[in-house]
């Protein structure tokens, strides 16, 4: 499952999966609250095995949809997991 698809499922809006990569996740853009961010990171960890909060202490990966997608894809590749079940760069 791609990061945009996971994000869309967490926020409950399928249209979110089609938003541009430069859409901010926090202030401006989607304006995700802390509870939604925690749910998003938990779903990403479950779906991809990448623990964003553990690997990115400053959470810079949460700047935009694109930065989060790239971060997850990079760490999946480092683990040697490849792309199972979807395009994580989505």
| Angle at 47 (CA atoms; ends 70, 21), nearest 5 degrees | 30
Name the nearest CA neighbour of 13 among 22, 4, 2, 26: 4
pTM of the model: 0.84
- pLDDT, tens digit, 9 for 90 and up, residues 24-77: 999 889 999 999 999 999 999 999 999 999 999 899 999 999 999 999 999 988
Distance, in Å, from the CA atom of 30 to the CA atom of 64, rounded to the nearest integer, reads 9
Can you list the domains of the chain with their CATH numbers? Answer: 3-79 (1.10.1200.10)
User: For residue 81, what pLDDT band results from cuts at 50, 70 and 90?
Assistant: low
What pLDDT was estimated at residue 28? 87
Query: Beta-carbon neighbour count of residue 35 at 10 Å?
Result: 8
């Amino acid at each position: 499952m791609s990061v945009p698809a996971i994000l869309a499922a967490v926020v409950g809006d399928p249209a979110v999966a089609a938003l541009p990569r430069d859409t901010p996740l926090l202030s401006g853009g989607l304006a995700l609250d802390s509870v939604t961010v925690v749910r998003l990171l938990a779903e990403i960890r479950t779906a991809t095995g990448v623990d964003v909060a553990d690997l990115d202490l400053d959470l810079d990966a949460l700047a935009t949809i694109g930065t989060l997608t790239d971060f997850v894809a990079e760490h999946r590749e480092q683990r040697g997991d490849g792309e199972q079940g979807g395009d994580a760069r989505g």
